[in-house]
Amino acid sequence: MIRFDNVGLRYGSGPEILRDVTFHVHPGSFHFLTGPSGAGKTSLLRLLFMSLRPSRGLIFVFGENLADLPPAGRAALRRRIGIVFQDFRLLDHMTTWENVALPLRVMGQTESDYADDVTDLLHWVGLGNRIHAYPETLSGGEKQRAAIARAVIGRPELLLADEPTGNVDPAIGNRLLRLFVELNRLGTSVIIATHDYALMDQLEAPRLMLHEGQLQVGASQIGVR
């Protein structure tokens, strides 16, 4: 599904943020991407999500070499990936429902086709009573759940989440983790970038550990080569 071969990344002429990163993610797997602050977790996620180009090495996403992919092809691949940002990135002028429906709208689906799905998903993530609320009126946890709902509404094959529990209290963090596990059980591959060890200890999942720009594979190596 995802393959990194000796990937390096530097910003401009600065030092390499990521060095010789090589790993392979299989369909249906669940991984934590961890490491201290500034280790390059967000940069690695941005490479996975094609919002950055590697300085060297090869990245294959769903079998496509990103180096050979035109912008239109990149957009098509992104539709197969859901992403949850640490800062949510909800559009403030749109309601929760409209934010969650955005990926389906982008795919060209008509509102009558997806209206029930969006409403059902919002109920499933516990935002049934916040459908018409605007993001600025939502709490941190509600925003996080809305961002997750937006990431999964298009039934992505891969879900990337950047510090999804960073802005919520432990109880909501646990609830969100259960949500990710449930999605994984339904067939979505999940990569969660976090430095919350308490969160990682709750789940038996392989850890991709970044340290000084290099990737090490953690003790639990299910699905990682």
**73 SS3 class:** helix
Q: Considering only CA atoms, give the Rg of the chain.
A: 17
Q: Does 26 bind another protein (CB under 8 A)?
A: no
| Other beta carbons within 10 Å of 69 | 16
| Other beta carbons within 10 Å of 19 | 19
- Pick 95 or 194: Cβ nearer another protein: 95
Beta bridge partners of 159: 82, 190
Q: Does 136 bind another protein (CB under 8 A)?
A: no
Q: Which two tokens stand for residue 169?
A: 């209290």
Q: How far apart are CA 51 and CA 45, in angstroms?
A: 9
Task: List helix spans (H) across 32-110.
Answer: 41-48, 71-78, 96-106
Q: Which two tokens stand for residue 101?
A: 């429906």
Q: Does 154 bind another protein (CB under 8 A)?
A: yes
- Pick 76 or 186: Cβ nearer another protein: 76
Dihedral of the alpha carbons of 47, 50, 51, 52, in degrees to the nearest 10? 50
- Pick 191 or 205: Cβ nearer another protein: 191
**Binding pattern for the stretch 91-130 against another protein, x by CB under 8 A and - elsewhere:** x-xxx--x---xx-xxx-----------------------
Q: How far apart are CA 127 and CA 101, in angstroms?
A: 14
Contact of 24 with 224, CB cutoff 8 Å? yes
Query: Which of 37-45, 73-81, 180-188, 208-216 is the region at the interface with another protein (rule: CB under 8 A)?
Result: 73-81
- Pick 30 or 85: Cβ nearer another protein: 85
Please select the residue that binds another protein; options are 38, 62, 65, 76, rule is CB under 8 A. Answer: 76
Q: Does 4 bind another protein (CB under 8 A)?
A: no
Report in angstroms how near the CB of residue 106 gets to another protein at its nearest. 4
Q: How many residues sit close enough to another protein to count as binding (CB under 8 A)? A: 24
Report in angstroms how near the CB of residue 3 gets to another protein at its nearest. 21
Q: Does 150 bind another protein (CB under 8 A)?
A: yes
In the complex, the residues that contact another protein under the rule CB under 8 A are: 49, 51, 71-72, 75-76, 78-79, 81, 83, 85, 89, 91, 93-95, 98, 102-103, 105-107, 150, 154
